[in-house]
């Protein structure tokens, strides 16, 4: 049986509960079958190390092994802060205006991928299957191939993939395409991302369709498919029984007994559209006065430098509570369950797991309503949410009002349909689908070799 090797920028400890969806999915894969290896950056920055150098640490966690590498300060700044987060993140979120394509950062990005490939290739076994995650590591397979690696390698992109006209603005995008073709399988979050990817490789790399999601270019064949990521529904529901979740739930329930609670939970990032959300909320209060003295939005945002101030405040009514920190998943659970409405209104998002977490923990008899941006990947699956265009704050306010006034029967119907999908397409289904596709690609290759042998 093959061993699974997972590569991602950050490595979680799969033994720790509540480490988040990806850690759960990865941990589960690594612990099953032949065990596994999880490789990535240690999170440590070394002030002594030279660019392209980094100490490797090996640690055993149950049946899996964690292999992590430190980064030198220049590598961290150019690969992680620089090219990954100031070039690829904004460009892939359709924000070329915010992207900075500095040559030295691009060099650092390639250098770290080369260094990771060198360290990882020494740990590989011939029948390993390798699963690489996200935009930090696009060149990794090409670097591994240069070192002679012939194992199956799959790639999953957690963020959106923009249309070819945006990708074409990235200096060196031809190289980006070649990097993708070093993978056997490229997984994207949505059908839309997949369409963009296929158009990109067909128009720019003249990739030839080979049937069944397979495309050939640069003398290699890859399979491209969408695999919408999900959450661990049971794990999240299980949190509801924790003391912290119950305390949060009860406190908020008492505090907001006479109010209508709306909730937003995001990492503070421009892609999440918080200013637009607050504007829509302000319009809700201005245009539908019945919400004054009653509607309250609790916005939890993991810290960065910006700050947003509450407005419309009165002595006993503060309409926006802006909580500038990371909450534990248990407390989030208690908050989601109290909310009448969740505002998940990113300007652009690969998937958005908050939308799915909110649905997973609602009381089916009296569920809250999800207001979801049509530009979140999740909107492709969660059609029964109230879909909004977050740039249109007036209509968003109208739909928030509709959510607040939605009759019980309609709330139940919408929730039942959404819950069904969140449950079925959970994180385990996502992992199984990706790994099955990666191994069936192996079968497809063998068939092709046989066919070519007969020809
Ligand atoms: P993120 O951009 O981090 O992930 P998201 O999908 O919303 O976005 O996942 C965030 C996770 O962190 C959720 O589990 C949420 O509960 C938690 N979280 C967010 N803000 C928090 C806060 N303030 N306090 C505590 N917890 C918080 C990237 C892509 C997404 C894609 C995921 C998974 O940008 O589009 O859905 O990867 O592929």
Q: Ligand 1 site: residues with CB under 6 angstroms?
A: 20, 158-159, 229, 265-267, 300-302, 326-327, 332, 349-354, 357
User: What are the DSSP E strand ranges found in 84-141?
Assistant: 129-133
Q: What are the domain boundaries of the chain?
A: 4-230+427-454, 233-424
Q: What is the mean pLDDT of residues 316-333?
A: 85
CA 27 to chain centre: 17
For residue 20, the model assigns a pLDDT of 56
Cα atoms found within 13 Å of the Cα of residue 270, Cβ hemisphere only: 13
Q: Where are the alpha helices (DSSP H) in 288-426?
A: 329-338, 353-360, 393-404, 408-424
Residue of the nearest CA to atom 24 in ligand 1? 326
Ligand 1 centre distance from Cα of residue 7 (Å):
19
| 425 given a catalytic annotation | no
| Probe residue for ligand 1, chosen from 134, 226, 265, 322 as the CB with the greatest number of ligand atoms within 8 Å | 265
Averaged over 73-100, what is the pLDDT? 96
pLDDT at 27: 72
CA–CA gap between residue 301 and residue 136 (Å, rounded): 23
pLDDT of 446 above 80: no
The CATH classification of domain 4-230+427-454, taken from the options 3.40.50.2000, 2.30.110.10, 3.30.420.40, 3.30.365.10: 3.40.50.2000
Compute φ and ψ for 299, nearest 5 degrees.
-110, 115
Q: What is the pLDDT of residue 307?
A: 33
Please give the average per-residue pLDDT across 206-233, as a whole number.
96
CATH class of 233-424: alpha beta
Closest to 377 measured CA to CA, from 197, 189, 227, 195: 189
3 state SS of 340: coil
Q: How far is CA 380 from the centre of its chain?
A: 15
Return the SS3 of 365. coil
Cβ-count burial 434-452 (b if 16+ within 10 Å, e if not): bbebbbebeebeeeeeeee
The Cα–Cα gap between 20 and 14 comes to: 9
pLDDT at 311: 42
> 122 C-alpha vs ligand 1 centroid, how far in Å?
33
* 351 CA from centroid of ligand 1 (Å): 9
When comparing pLDDT for 178 and 28, which is higher? 178
Instruction: Confirm whether 4-230+427-454 and 233-424 share one CATH topology.
Output: yes
Give burial (CB, 10 Å; 0-12/13-18/19+) of 219.
Answer: exposed
Residue 319 pLDDT level (bands cut at 50, 70, 90): confident
- Catalytic residue, chosen from 70, 128, 266, 349, is 349
Residue 236's pLDDT is 87
Give the residue with greater pLDDT, 303 vs 190.
190
User: Mean pLDDT over residues 143-165, rounded?
Assistant: 97
Residue 18 pLDDT = 45
Dist CA 265 CA 328 (whole Å) = 12
- 70 in catalytic set: no
Q: Answer whether 187's CB lies under 8 Å from 226's CB.
A: yes
């Amino acid at each position: 049986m093959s061993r699974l090797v997972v590569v991602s920028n950050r490595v979680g400890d799969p033994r720790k509960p509540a480490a988040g969806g990806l850690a759960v999915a990865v941990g589960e894969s690594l612990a099953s079958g032949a065990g596994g290896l999880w490789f990535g950056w240690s999170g440590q920055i070394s002030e002594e190390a030279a660019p392209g150098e980094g100490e490797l640490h090996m640690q055993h966690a149950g049946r899996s092994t964690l292999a992590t590498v430190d980064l030198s300060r220049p590598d961290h700044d150019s690969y992680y802060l620089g090219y990954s987060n100031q070039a690829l993140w904004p460009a892939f979120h359709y924000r070329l205006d915010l992207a900075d394509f500095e040559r030295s950062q691009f060099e650092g990005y390639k250098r770290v991928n080369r260094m990771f490939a060198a360290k990882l290739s020494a740990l590989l076994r011939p029948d390993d299957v390798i699963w690489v995650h996200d935009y930090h590591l696009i060149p990794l397979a090409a670097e591994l191939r240069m070192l002679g690696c012939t194992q199956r390698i799959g790639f999953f992109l957690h963020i959106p993939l923009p249309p070819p006209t945006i990708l074409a603005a990235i200096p060196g995008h031809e190289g980006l395409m070649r990097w993708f073709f070093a993978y056997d399988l490229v997984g994207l979050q949505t059908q839309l991302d997949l369409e963009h990817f296929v158009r990109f490789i067909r128009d720019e790399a003249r990739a030839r369709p080979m049937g069944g999601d397979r495309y050939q270019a640069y003398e290699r064949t890859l399979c491209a498919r969408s695999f919408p990521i999900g959450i661990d529904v049971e794990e999240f529901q299980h949190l509801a029984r924790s003391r912290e979740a119950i305390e949060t739930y009860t406190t908020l329930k008492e505090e907001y007994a006479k109010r209508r609670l709306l909730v937003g939970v995001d990492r503070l990032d421009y892609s999440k559209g918080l200013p637009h959300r607050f504007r829509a909320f302000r319009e809700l209060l201005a245009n539908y006065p019945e919400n004054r003295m009653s509607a309250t939005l609790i916005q939890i945002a993991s810290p960065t430098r910006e700050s947003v101030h509450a407005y419309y405040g009165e002595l006993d009514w503060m309409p926006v509570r802006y909580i500038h920190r990371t909450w534990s998943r248990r407390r989030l659970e208690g908050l989601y369950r109290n909310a009448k409405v969740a505002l998940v209104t990113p300007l652009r998002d690969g998937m958005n797991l908050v939308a799915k977490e909110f649905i997973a923990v609602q009381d089916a008899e009296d569920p809250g309503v999800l207001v979801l941006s049509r530009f979140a990947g999740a909107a492709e699956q969660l059609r029964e949410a109230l879909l909004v265009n977050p740039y249109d704050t007036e209509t968003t306010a109208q739909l928030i009002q509709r959510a607040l006034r939605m009759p019980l029967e309609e709330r139940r119907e919408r929730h039942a349909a959404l819950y069904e999908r969140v449950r079925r397409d959970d994180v385990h289904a996502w992992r199984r689908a990706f790994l099955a596709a990666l191994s069936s690609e192996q079968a497809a290759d063998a068939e092709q070799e046989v066919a070519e042998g007969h020809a």
